[in-house]
Amino acid sequence: MDEFYKKQTQNQHKKFVVLSPDEVQSVKTPPSRYYIIDAFGHYIFVKVRERTKAQEIINEIYGKGFYKIRRMGLEPIGGEVSAR
């Protein structure tokens, strides 16, 4: 059932990569930095460069306001950072 769900979700949009929670923990580098966690607990990564574009795709597929794009990784820090 899990493989069937993953294939069906990935067929919804060409930019989707679906991973189960166990697969996400074992992956060294995620397929994309933008993702959502759907109602079944699967991570749906959207392979785009901009967060706004990822949110547009999610809104198009799931409807506006149902899911908010999350970002995996560190947020950029403004200014210089010194280790001294």
Alpha helices of 1-84 — where are they, by DSSP H?
A: 2-10, 21-26, 51-62
| Exposure of 57 in the CB half-sphere (CA atoms within 13 A) | 21
Pairing of the two strands 16-19 and 70-71 = unpaired
Q: Are strands 16-19 and 43-46 parallel, antiparallel or unpaired?
A: antiparallel
The first and second tokens of residue 16, run together, are 């989707």
Give, for all 84 residues of the chain, the pLDDT tens digit.
688 888 888 888 999 999 999 998 898 888 999 999 999 999 999 999 999 999 999 999 999 999 999 998 755 555 565 666
The two structure tokens encoding residue 2: 């899990």
- pTM to 2 decimal places: 0.80
